[in-house]
């Protein structure tokens, strides 16, 4: 340890102070740095921030990922970039849909030469660092280099809906080593009856309160990183598509100015879990298996973004405003959901007006036809 302890805490061993501070979480450590000059000197050490990041994101412990973080500016900067969550700077409303830009928003109209900004974005530039916890226990960690199935970057990838799948297990996948499971021993509540769960939703609430997810996206070319997840679930759907399935959503709101007709889009991180029971009768124990974990982008009209626009949005997300105030993050997501509902209602009202106009036109045509028939006979 390079820092030298002086002043009020000089009587303590520097190694002891370092050991104490290294056990703190990042927020408390940052507060401790403001307490005195000695603490501030210790908190500048990269080693202590490496310990903090390693405890928060266990997926970064391998040497290749550590080298990547050092290239971004070190662990202290990595924590400052990725611990705060993305929050939208402006109020989201349905009226932000740009009808003029919508005329240009046709996938077939895009060519590689038209968008200069895309020239500096490649799927291989991105690295996903993902960690899933259940009641503070790490159940899954993965580092994904690049974007899978993006070989045909200037072909189908740029025009097809964008999606990153980390997990996609079939019902026939019975290899225990490839499965991500949470059991009663991990704190999972016992689910005795699906019918009872439909009524009280106790298991569903416990699942939402206990599961946490972090999805950090790194751009190696820009040397920037951002956390696209919301830590806690933003919502979901229980008993879908089967009684034993639970779908949980995480995510964030990302800017899309001059890329799409809407000024913001939603990054949706979906986690699909399936409940099963191990054992027979009274000895049966509830087990939760995570069978899908994916990320995709969606606009205000619930349309999935293609690969090209998704890369542009993700590149811009690297410089998004961030906040440690979780209520501010939730408010941003709530505004987006409200704007989606308003846009859907406006679309339904517009469709209703068109339907009424068609009915009136049909009645007028029918009346004109019979008027012509009756008076032509006279």
Return the residue matching tokens 């959503």: 249
Which tens digit of pLDDT belongs to each residue from 308-353?
Answer: 899 999 999 998 889 888 888 888 888 888 887 787 777 788 888 8
**365 within some domain:** no
Q: Is the pLDDT of residue 172 over 50?
A: no
pLDDT of residue 210: 93
Return the residue matching tokens 């959901």: 337
Which tens digit of pLDDT belongs to each residue from 97-113?
Answer: 555 445 445 444 444 44
Kindly report the backbone phi and psi dihedral angles of residue 153, in degrees, each rounded to the nearest multiple of 5, phi listed first.
-60, -40
Percent of the chain at pLDDT above 90?
Answer: 34
Q: Is the pLDDT of residue 222 over 70?
A: yes
**347 within some domain:** no
In this structure, are 298 and 174 located in the same domain? yes
Q: What mean pLDDT value characterizes the chain? A: 81
Which tens digit of pLDDT belongs to each residue from 174-199?
Answer: 444 457 889 888 888 888 788 888 88
Is 24 in contact with 32 (CB distance < 8 Å)? Answer: yes
In this structure, are 32 and 114 located in the same domain? no
User: What is the C-alpha to C-alpha distance for residues 233 and 210, in angstroms, rounded to an integer?
Assistant: 9
In this structure, are 41 and 137 located in the same domain? no
In this structure, are 131 and 237 located in the same domain? yes
Q: What angle do CA 242, 245, 251 make, to 5 degrees?
A: 130
User: What is the C-alpha to C-alpha distance for residues 242 and 232, in angstroms, rounded to an integer?
Assistant: 24
In this structure, are 12 and 99 located in the same domain? no
In this structure, are 41 and 119 located in the same domain? no
- Structural domain total, the chain: 2
Which tens digit of pLDDT belongs to each residue from 105-134?
Answer: 544 444 444 455 565 688 889 999 999 999
In this structure, are 57 and 117 located in the same domain? no
Query: DSSP class of residue 305?
Result: P
Residue 29 domain boundaries: 7-67
pLDDT band at 153 (very low <50, low <70, confident <90, very high): low
């Amino acid at each position: 340890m390079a820092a030298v302890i002086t002043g009020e805490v000089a009587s303590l061993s520097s190694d002891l102070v370092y050991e104490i501070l290294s056990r703190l979480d990042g927020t408390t450590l940052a507060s401790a740095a403001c307490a005195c000059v000695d603490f501030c000197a210790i908190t500048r050490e990269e080693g202590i921030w490496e310990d903090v990041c390693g405890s928060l994101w266990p997926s970064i412990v391998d040497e290749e990922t550590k080298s990547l973080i050092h290239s971004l500016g070190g662990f202290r900067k990595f924590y400052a970039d990725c611990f705060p969550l993305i929050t939208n700077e402006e109020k989201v409303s349905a009226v932000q849909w740009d009808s003029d830009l919508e005329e240009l928003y046709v996938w077939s109209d895009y060519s590689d030469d038209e968008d200069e900004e895309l020239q500096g974005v490649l799927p291989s530039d991105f690295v996903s660092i993902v960690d899933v916890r259940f009641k503070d226990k790490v159940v899954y960690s993965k580092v994904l280099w690049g974007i899978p199935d993006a070989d045909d970057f200037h072909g189908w990838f740029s025009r097809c809906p964008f999606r990153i799948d980390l997990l996609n297990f079939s019902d026939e996948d019975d290899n225990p080593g490839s499965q991500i499971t949470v059991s009663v021993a991990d704190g999972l509540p016992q689910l005795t009856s699906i019918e009872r769960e439909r009524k009280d939703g106790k298991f569903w609430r416990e699942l939402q309160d206990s599961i946490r997810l972090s999805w950090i996206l790194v751009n190696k070319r820009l040397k920037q990183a951002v956390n696209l997840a919301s830590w806690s679930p933003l919502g979901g759907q229980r008993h879908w598509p089967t009684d034993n399935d639970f779908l949980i959503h995480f995510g964030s709101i990302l800017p899309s100015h001059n890329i799409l007709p809407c000024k913001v889009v939603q990054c949706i991180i979906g986690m699909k879990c399936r409940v099963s029971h191990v054992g027979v009768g009274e000895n049966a124990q509830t087990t939760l298996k995570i069978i899908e974990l994916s990320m995709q982008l969606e606009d205000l009209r619930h349309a999935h973004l293609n690969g090209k626009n998704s890369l542009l949005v993700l590149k811009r997300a690297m410089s998004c405003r961030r906040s440690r105030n979780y209520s501010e993050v939730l408010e941003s997501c709530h505004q987006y959901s409200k704007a989606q509902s308003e846009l859907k209602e406006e679309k339904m009202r517009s469709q209703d007006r068109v339907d009424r106009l068609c009915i009136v036109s049909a009645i007028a045509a029918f009346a004109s036809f019979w008027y012509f028939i009756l008076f032509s006979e006279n």
